[in-house]
């Protein structure tokens, strides 16, 4: 018992220590609008400002950009700036945030006054480049492996792609309309951080193929890094899940004591209780309804229960390949429920975890028939690698991606816990007919 406690303590300490460099080494958030402060790490603002203002970024046909910041000021400040251009320019010079996204890239700054609004125009070169065929990609706001974080600060920020183009990809937290993508700080909270640090904007024509080319461009951009991060962070969890698949497939413990009908009841009960528990706990803790994360986890419970019901009634007619298809269908159904209830994107981690668990059903069936399902075990083992790769790139400061090896190790425990009843059910389906 003491040894078990020691191992658990060491795991907790390892996770804690691994997380320290990532947090302590993270730089202050960078403002997207350089003169719209104050922000989290910046107290500078235009003297007399009455709000954070707005920022519009116009991308040119050559991939450069023109930035237009508009900050409202008091009538007294406007009168002073109207008669004293030097004071206006000095106020803007003093308002630049120490950390802002275009720091070092700002060119051709022009400051004017329009009624009670200070307007700051400047250019930033090379914010977009050509991608696949006629598709262009704005990659200026994608931080890659850098630990840089963004802060919206402005009340509204809009990126305008060239006239005649359409934005072709889904952009997190943004409202897309034709050739514009808009982020708003609706609460007026200067701590707002809805702007994702891996934001890509693709644009071109408005057809299906244009959308496909846009996502292909993003894939080519992040693919090598995502694959590297997935392998580095998911290799140890992948090996652990592969071992779990072999062990639960070969183990017959409990097979003689529990029949298929009882296993179905156990699986359905666990799934329903889990789904309800996640939803109720989230609703109570937030007092604003279930969160998207809770809905995604609850969907896992629903998919688990549905898989148990379907396998019990159809499994004897399907064989190992049919059960594998049923497991994949259950995982897709889980993702579909999440999208239906909370909208895109599909949460990669719950989906991949659900797939790894569901595949225990055909794995158990195959082992009972005397076969070693190498392909099924391999697919289950690849799920943590896929989950990390889909959400890549990740910052590599401190322990970086290696931290995921510790964070994803509990997946093996989860797959073993919830997958074993499915493996036993698969064994019954193989031997009871």
**Quick one: tokens of 184?**
């708003």
pLDDT digits (tens, 9 = 90+) for 359-405: 999 999 999 988 999 999 999 999 999 988 887 776 654 455 567 67
Mean pLDDT of 296-323: 88
Tell me how far CA of residue 199 lies from CA of 24, 133, 150, 171, 236, in angstroms. Answer: 24, 21, 10, 7, 29
The answer to whether the beta carbons of residues 214 and 201 sit under 8 Å apart is no
Which tens digits make up the pLDDT trace of 146-179?
Answer: 777 788 888 999 999 999 999 999 888 889 999 9
Among 168-177, 327-336, 337-346, the least confident range: 337-346
The whole-number average pLDDT for the span 314-329 is 88
Q: Assess whether pLDDT exceeds 80 at residue 1.
A: no
pLDDT tens for residues 66-111?
999 999 999 999 999 999 999 999 999 998 988 888 988 999 999 9
pLDDT at residue 61 above 70?
yes
pLDDT reported for residue 367? 92
Q: Please, which pLDDT band fits residue 318 given cuts at 50, 70 and 90?
A: confident
What would the two tokens of residue 158 be? 């809009």
Measured CA to CA, the distance from residue 319 to residue 311 in angstroms comes to: 11
Determine the number of helices (DSSP H) and then strands (DSSP E) in the chain. Answer: 12, 13
Q: What is the pLDDT of residue 401?
A: 57
Poorest-confidence range of 18-32, 34-48, 90-104, 178-192?
A: 18-32
Q: Around 297, how many Cα atoms within 13 Å sit in the side-chain half-sphere?
A: 15
pLDDT reading at 7 higher than 50: no
In this prediction, residue 343 carries a pLDDT of 67
Can you tell me the mean pLDDT for 334-353? 77
Q: What is the pLDDT of residue 21?
A: 41
The neighbouring-strand residues paired with 55 are 69, 157
**pLDDT > 70: percent of the chain:** 86
For the cut 90, the answer to whether the pLDDT of residue 341 exceeds it is no
Give yes or no for a contact between 82 and 113, defined as CB atoms under 8 angstroms apart.
yes
Mapped to the 3 state alphabet, what secondary structure does the chain carry? CHHHHHHHHHHHHHHHHHHHHHHHCCCCCEECCCCCCCECCECCCCCCECCCCEEEEEECCCCCEEEEEEEEECHHHHHHHHHCHHHHHHHHHHHCCCCECCCCCCEEEEEEEECCEEEEEEEECCCEEECCCCCEEECCCECCCCCCCEECCCCEEEEECCCCCEECCCCCCCEEECCEEEEECCCCCCCCCCCCCECCEEEECCCHHHHHHHHHHHHHHHHHHHHHHHHHHHHHHHHHHHHHHHHHHHCCCCCCCCCHHHHHHHHHHHHHHHHHHHHHHHHHHHCCCCCHHHHHHHHHHHHHHHHHHHHHHHHHHCHHHHHHHHHHHHHHHHHHHHHHHHCCCCCHHHHHHHHHHHCHHHHHHHHHCCCCCHHHHHHHHHHHHHHHHHCCCCCCCCCHHHHHHHHCCHHHHHHHHHHHHHHHHHHHHHHCC
What pLDDT shows up at residue 402? 62
pLDDT of residue 422: 93
pLDDT (tens digit per residue) in 244-271? 999 988 888 877 788 888 888 999 999 9
In the predicted structure, residue 218 carries a pLDDT above the cut 50: yes
Q: What is the share, in percent, of the chain residues with pLDDT greater than 90? A: 42
pTM for the model stands at 0.72
**Residue 194 pLDDT grade (very low, low, confident, very high; cuts 50, 70, 90):** low
């Amino acid at each position: 018992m003491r040894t078990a406690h020691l191992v658990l303590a060491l795991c907790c300490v390892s996770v804690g220590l691994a997380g320290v460099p990532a947090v302590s080494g993270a730089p202050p958030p960078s403002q997207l609008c350089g003169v719209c402060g104050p922000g989290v790490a910046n107290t500078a603002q235009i003297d007399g400002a009455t709000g954070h203002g707005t920022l519009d970024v116009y991308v040119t046909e050559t991939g450069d950009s023109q930035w237009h910041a508009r900050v409202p000021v008091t009538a007294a400040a406007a009168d002073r700036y109207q008669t004293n251009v030097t004071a206006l320019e000095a106020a803007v010079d003093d308002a630049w945030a120490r950390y802002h996204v275009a720091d070092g890239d700002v060119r051709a700054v022009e400051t004017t006054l329009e009624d009670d609004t200070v307007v700051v125009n400047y250019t930033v070169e090379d914010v977009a480049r050509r991608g696949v065929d006629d598709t262009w990609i704005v990659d200026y706001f994608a931080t890659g492996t850098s630990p840089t974080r963004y802060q919206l600060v402005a009340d509204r920020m809009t990126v305008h792609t060239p006239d005649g183009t359409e934005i072709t990809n889904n952009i997190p937290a943004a409202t897309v309309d034709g050739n514009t993508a808009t982020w708003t700080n609706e609460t007026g909270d200067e701590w707002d951080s809805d702007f994702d640090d891996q934001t890509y904007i693709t644009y071109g024509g408005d057809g299906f193929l244009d959308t496909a080319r846009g996502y292909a461009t993003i894939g080519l951009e992040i693919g090598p890094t995502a694959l590297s991060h997935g392998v580095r962070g998911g290799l140890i969890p992948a090996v652990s899940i592969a071992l779990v698949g072999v062990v639960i497939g070969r183990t017959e413990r409990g097979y003689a004591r529990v029949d298929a009908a009882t296993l179905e009841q156990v699986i359905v009960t666990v799934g329903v209780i889990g789904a309800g528990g996640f939803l109720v706990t989230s609703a109570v803790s937030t007092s604003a309804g279930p969160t998207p994360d809770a809905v995604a986890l609850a969907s896992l419970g629903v998919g688990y229960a549905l898989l148990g019901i379907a396998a019990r009634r159809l499994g004897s007619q399907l064989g190992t390949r049919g059960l594998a298809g049923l497991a994949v269908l259950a995982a897709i159904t889980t993702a579909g429920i999440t999208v239906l209830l909370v909208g895109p994107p599909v949460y990669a981690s719950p989906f991949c975890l659900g797939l790894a668990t569901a595949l225990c059903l055909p794995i158990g069936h195959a082992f009972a028939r005397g076969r070693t399902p190498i392909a099924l075990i391999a697919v289950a083992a690849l799920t943590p690698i896929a989950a990390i790769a889909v959400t890549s790139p990740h910052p590599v400061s401190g322990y970086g991606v290696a931290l995921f090896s510790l964070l994803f190790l509990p997946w093996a425990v989860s797959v073993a816990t919830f997958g074993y009843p499915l493996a036993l059910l698969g064994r019954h389906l193989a031997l009871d007919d």
